Amino acid sequence: MSVSWSAVFLPSGADLGGYVVNRLGASSPIEVCTVATPTTSCTDTTPPTNQQISYTVTPAQESWRGATSPPSAPVVVAA
């Protein structure tokens, strides 16, 4: 499952260190990708099948985490 988003910048205009992508589903959120900028996409290689899932993206700079995005539109991956 491919996930992509728009770039976010620090208030100074500088690039972030990267992004953390979490999958939301029937269980607790699961971190599926951590990518460095300028990358604004990742692939969830193990999405569960036949259940509704969505994704959130959180900007990251070293130990700092920005506001998490609203969940993506839900999808169901066929078996």
Please tell me what DSSP assigns to residue 58.
E
Instruction: Give tens-digit pLDDT for 30-52.
Output: 999 999 999 999 999 999 999 99
What residues form DSSP beta bridges with 23? 30, 55
**In the predicted structure, residue 10 carries a pLDDT above the cut 90:** no
pTM metric for this prediction:
0.91
CA distances from 43 to 3, 50, 64 (A): 6, 18, 23
Instruction: Give tens-digit pLDDT for 55-73.
Output: 999 999 988 899 999 999 9
> Do residues 70 and 43 make contact, with C-beta atoms less than 8 angstroms apart?
no
Closest by CA to 5, choosing from 66, 55, 67, 78, is 55
> Do residues 9 and 37 make contact, with C-beta atoms less than 8 angstroms apart?
no
